[in-house]
Amino acid sequence: MPGPCDGLVVVDFSWGMSGGLATAVLADFGADVIKIEPPAGDPFRSHPAWIAWNRGKKSAVLDLKTEQGRSHAHRLAEQADVVLESFRPGVSARLGIDYATLSAINPRLIYASISGWGQQGPLSHLPGYEGAVAARSGRMMDFAGQMNREGPAYTAVQVGQWAASQAAVRGILAVLLSRDRTGRGQWVQTSILQNMMPYDLAGLVMRQLTRQHPQNFPANALGAAIRLPMLQYIPVRTKDGQWLQHANLMDRLFRAYLKAIGLGWVLEEEVFKRAPILKHEAREALRELILNKMQERTLEEWMRIYMEDGNVAAEPYRYTVEGMKHEQYVHNGHAVEIDDPRVGRLTTVGLLARLSDTPGQVGGPAPGLGQHTEEVLRRIASRPRATVTAAAEAHGDMRNTPKKPLLDGLTMLDFSMVIAGPYAAAMLADMGVRVFKVDATPEREQTISTGGGMAPMNLKNYAGKEAIQVNLQSPEGQQIIHQLIARSDILLHNFRPGVPQRLAIDWETCRRINPRLIHVYVGAYGATGPHHRRPGAHPIPGALLGGALRQAGRANPPPPDQPMSLEEIKEVSRLLMRANEGNPDPNTSQAVATSIMLALLARARSGRGQAIEVTMLQGNAWANADEAYDYAGRPPYVLPDAECYGLNALYRLYPAAEGWVFLACVFDREWKALCTAVNRPDLAADARFAGAEERKAHDAELAAEIGKIFAARSAEHWEQLLSAAGVACVQADWSLGRFLEEHPQAAANRMAVETESPRFGKYRRHGALIDFSDAPARLEHGSFNGEHTVRVMRELGYSDEQIAELRARGIIHWEEASRLPSAR
């Protein structure tokens, strides 16, 4: 069966992980991807994962520094649908392949840019290494306290590159949809910096709420809710020294867990009967009971009990390649094997999601350098020069046409809960989709005990949505929802298998109502297979697919045979939960939103809807794509050091005289520039540090030398000095929320924009992840439960009397919009 992108020609000028993953998704779903490399090749070809990122593509060598190379590139652009590049701002213009040049040659061209820092701002010229971006934006400082030392911690999972790759894909697909109407392409811009925003779950909002409403949102409220190991999310050590992550967020699941491990009796005790909502003393007493109990059986024994029970969310801590061997991952076909001429049998991540009617297919091995140059040049020579199409001419001047978001006119029903599904829908709302957020009534179907912490996060997850409350378990409620299904383009849910049928929103029911509907299920494990009925939440893929162990550093957890006291177990439990963090949810959101865009493109071509299945397992395997590959002789993956400063002396955090810096000095030219800028020619001349291999062999000595240099002056000084020299050395002592509010780089890229909530008043929310040259974003406030119920019911034709009667009977509901008092 054809993929959604069949027939599309993509010219890929990008280097590294973000561009590689973006065009990998397009290639997997049918696009003809031509990777253009300089004569020396993509500098990241030396990365062991490069062969996984670039499967199914072609390679052509063009020297863009020559007139002939630029001429060939222009001819390719004439014939292409998409061009992708990841250069620093200004470089593409010097090479003659910038948007202005190529769009003049081909007005239908979709030109996508993935930069490190954005196209504007004082930091835009810096090399866009993820470590530097994560450090300066504040993501590393948000991990402060993970290790028992002062200062920020290195962030191991390359979330910015992963999210940026998918933002680029969504932007490209959105313009493809609009091009059928306008005949013209656009410039799609995103950056690693912008794509740190998905991982700020509530930092920006909480900074404001604690100032504006301190009684309702004390400064430590969110930290107590999600940054410490809640009992529901407790990591435990088993009898055989293995570590097991739990994710029983819902109250009923936590109580099922207690019963499964033989602690059900605590629920009969007065002090524990409201578990997991407990006072400090009771909570810590129950923590000790759990940690001691879990040491009575081995990991295998506990997993057997959990599987038989079916209502306990838990998985062991594993590195990515080990997690990819999990029986559910294998059942889903999430991994693929490719015969690669360089390494033999390569195992790596397969298709991003399962699309029922246009599934796509992973292609063959990554190309050798220039393997397809002659073929590409013949293609150029054999085709006549392109002419501006009639559609492009008819729509040639769009300047005076009122601009709407690219996905304006599409409608989505969002039944999903927590973060992975809701945030995916919120990202599409930012691009113009009208999203109805449907919550159960009169109260939520499941109680989530996070101490009130969901309210700030929901300002983000409900952003731009119309929130309605409908009782899905009543015939009248289902009738209301079916009316909306008939009018919608997309339905998203994350109910466990069997629940959609009971609520009458399953795929078979929906397709009878609306054959054009795209029906999306996002789950921890998937809809079939040995684990499909088990519950799951974000710590599950975080632990199983390697993210948490990478973040924990080389020394954690201790070896299985090392004896540990209860206090030591508590400390490792704390560290592992901090390392697991919240990124697995937004990692999954990226896969969900991209998959929906692929299905929308397929529907534009076929006129038919289809069912989509996205798993948290696969979303997080892709997010760990720099580790998610295996072959005989695979080099060991480089983990952060034991204290999570970084990967090596030239890619790590250092304390300065005042504050912290992060140094990202990857290539020889950058090393030489560093030595010159800090006036240490002796380091450049030192035989121990003469080349990359020598520096690797003497890494500790080099780190000590560099540490002495940075200790002499402030972090601010080093950023100014080394940035001017073209070396990515940045301050690392701001929080992400502060960066978004205060830094000129964030302002230049509109990363925090003002909106107004009926409940919270004016506040600044996250900006757009994608900028389009000819289409605005739609950045609106985060709605509260039922905020738009009445408006939507009237739109469906219900009278005010009918609406009041349905509310009185508990069929629909809404909360009153009471404004919280502001601090004086």
Return d(Cα 496, Cα 498) in angstroms, integer.
6
- Sheet containing 465-470: order of strands: 354-355, 611-615, 518-523, 490-493, 411-414, 434-439, 465-470, 812-813
Closest-CA residue to 543 (of 748, 118, 300, 246) = 246
Closest-CA residue to 508 (of 525, 527, 529, 532) = 527
Residue with tokens 């250092």: 654
> Would you say 122 and 49 are in contact if contact means Cβ atoms under 8 Å apart?
no
- Angle between helix axes 566-580 and 280-294 (nearest 10 degrees) is 100
End-to-end CA distance of the chain: 63
Question: Among positive and negative, which fits the CA dihedral 235, 238, 244, 248?
Answer: negative
- Structure tokens of 2? 């054809």
Phi-psi region of 553 (alpha: psi -120 to 50; beta: other; left: phi over 0): left
Distance of CA 462 to the CA centre of its chain: 17
Return d(Cα 269, Cα 251) in angstroms, integer.
17
β strands within 333-421, DSSP E = 335-340, 344-349, 354-355, 411-414
Distance of CA 756 to the CA centre of its chain: 26
3-state helix, strand, coil in the chain (%, to 5): 40, 15, 45
Check residue 528 and report its DSSP letter. S
> Would you say 741 and 204 are in contact if contact means Cβ atoms under 8 Å apart?
yes
Q: What is the CA radius of gyration of the chain?
A: 26
Helix (H) or strand (E) holding 463: none
Closest-CA residue to 81 (of 359, 367, 383, 386) = 386
- Structure tokens of 210? 């604690």
Phi-psi region of 633 (alpha: psi -120 to 50; beta: other; left: phi over 0): left
Options 213, 331, 482, 717, the catalytic residue: 213
Burial class (CB in 10 A: 0-12, 13-18, 19+), 687: exposed
What is each CA distance from 329 to 105, 326, 428, 525, in whole angstroms?
45, 5, 28, 8
> Would you say 755 and 762 are in contact if contact means Cβ atoms under 8 Å apart?
yes
Helix (H) or strand (E) holding 5: none
Distance of CA 704 to the CA centre of its chain: 35
Residues facing residue 188 across a β-bridge: 112, 772
Question: Among positive and negative, which fits the CA dihedral 380, 385, 390, 396?
Answer: positive
SS (H, E, C) 588-611: HHHHHHHHHHHHHHHHHHHCCCCE
- Angle between helix axes 715-724 and 668-677 (nearest 10 degrees) is 120
> Would you say 587 and 159 are in contact if contact means Cβ atoms under 8 Å apart?
yes
3-class secondary structure, 22: helix
Residue type at 200 in one-letter notation: D
> Would you say 92 and 73 are in contact if contact means Cβ atoms under 8 Å apart?
no
- Structure tokens of 337? 């094997």
**Residues near 184 by Cβ (< 8 Å), separated by ≥ 6?**
107, 108, 392, 395, 396, 398, 774
- Structure tokens of 815? 């909360």
Q: Is 717 a catalytic residue?
A: no
Distance of CA 129 to the CA centre of its chain: 17
Catalytically active residues, by annotation:
213
